[in-house]
Amino acid sequence: MGAGGPAASVVPLVRPGGTLTATAATPAPEDTMPLEAGLLEILACPACHAPLREEGDELHCTGGSGCGLIYPVRDGIPVLLVDEARRPA
Ligand SMILES: [Zn+2]
C-alpha cells in the first residue's frame, strides 16, 4: 500500500504580508522519538477495540483470544488497518 509520507506534507501557511496565527498550531512530530506515551492510550485495535501494546516496531493487540493482531508502525505512524496487520505466529 502507499506508505508515503503524509506526515511530511505539512507546509507552513504563511501569506506574504500576512500574520501567522499560532492558535491552531499542532505540535511538531519528533521523528527521533518512539511513539508518544499518550498515543497508545488513545489507540485501539480496529478489529476488537482492545488497547494496543508497543513491542519493538509493532503494536500488538491485547484483545487476547480471537484477535491478537499485530500492526506495523511505519515512519513512526501506526498503521491500524486490519488488512495490514499480521496474526501472531
Ligand atoms: Zn484486536
Domain boundary assignment for the chain = 44-89
Give the Å distance between the CA of 75 and the centre of ligand 1. Answer: 22
Phi/psi at 70 (nearest 5 deg)?
-120, 120
Give the pLDDT confidence score for residue 58 in this predicted structure: 95
Asked if 71 and 80 touch (Cβ cutoff 8 Å), the reply is yes
Give the Å distance between the CA of 66 and the centre of ligand 1. Answer: 8
Please state which CATH number belongs to domain 44-89: 2.20.25
Give the pLDDT confidence score for residue 39 in this predicted structure: 76
Give the pLDDT confidence score for residue 41 in this predicted structure: 78
List the chain pLDDT tens, one digit each, 89 residues: 555 555 555 666 665 665 555 555 566 555 555 677 777 778 899 999 999 999 999 999 999 778 999 999 998 889 999 999 999 87
Give the Å distance between the CA of 65 and the centre of ligand 1. Answer: 9
Give the pLDDT confidence score for residue 36 in this predicted structure: 72
User: Buried (b) or exposed (e) across 43-68, using 16+ Cβ within 10 A?
Assistant: bbbebbebebebeeebbbbebeeebb
Give the Å distance between the CA of 10 and the centre of ligand 1. Answer: 31
